[in-house]
Amino acid sequence: MFSIPNPLIEMKKLLLPLLLMFIGISQKSIAATPASNYKISVDTVRKKLVHPKEAMADADVKAILTTMRGKRNDAEKIVALKEAVKGKGITVDQLITLLNQFLTDDSKIECAEYAFPYITNYKSFLIILDIFSKRNYKDNLEEFYDKARKW
């Protein structure tokens, strides 16, 4: 039997690959867009994290410090620090000042890891090791840093 080609089916066969190609292109452009909600940007060529160039002012750090001192426990301080640091540049020294407000090393390491993308002088990040009292926390932070440098 001989069948007559249906033009609608033929058109669908041509449009489907084009549609899939456009979807793929749009997804790539979305993935290459910096995460503007958190102001963490990614170098789309090298696929690496781009740290901020400028840190927040010391007055901003003092305001965060005052807010953290007004909190009752580490859990509340963690929330305060994360909200304050999000989207702003911070130096390692400024972060150490804030991390010293925590009672436990668990809280310190959680916030140090969270703040890493926002650190302006990230190559000095391991200075933070000095604030930890136990070796396993220092090892965990060194391991995190080794992985994070490759982001």
pLDDT per position as a tens digit, 91-129: 999 999 999 999 999 999 999 999 999 999 999 999 999
Which has the closest alpha carbon to 115: 98, 132, 129, 127? Answer: 98
Judged by average pLDDT, the poorest of 37-41, 50-54, 68-72, 78-82 is 37-41
pLDDT at 19: 53
129 or 41: which carries more pLDDT confidence? 129
Find out whether 21 and 29 touch, Cβ atoms under 8 Å: no
Count the domains in the chain. Answer: 2
pLDDT at 22: 54
pLDDT at 8: 61
Whether 82 and 124 map to the same domain: the answer is: yes
C-alpha to C-alpha distance for 112 and 108, rounded to whole angstroms: 6
Whether 78 and 133 map to the same domain: the answer is: yes
Cβ neighbors of 93 (< 8 A, separation 6 or more) are: 127
C-alpha to C-alpha distance for 17 and 23, rounded to whole angstroms: 10
Does 97 reside within a domain? Answer: yes
Q: Read off the DSSP letter of residue 4.
A: P
Does 2 reside within a domain? Answer: no
C-alpha to C-alpha distance for 38 and 118, rounded to whole angstroms: 9
48 or 129: which carries more pLDDT confidence? 129
**114: containing domain:** 58-148
Residue 114 CA: distances (Å) to CA of 15, 92, 118: 45, 13, 8
Whether 41 and 80 map to the same domain: the answer is: no
Among positive and negative, which fits the CA dihedral 89, 94, 120, 105? negative
Whether 62 and 46 map to the same domain: the answer is: no
* 37: confidence class by pLDDT, cuts 50, 70, 90: very low
pLDDT at 35: 36
pLDDT over 80 at 60, yes or no: yes
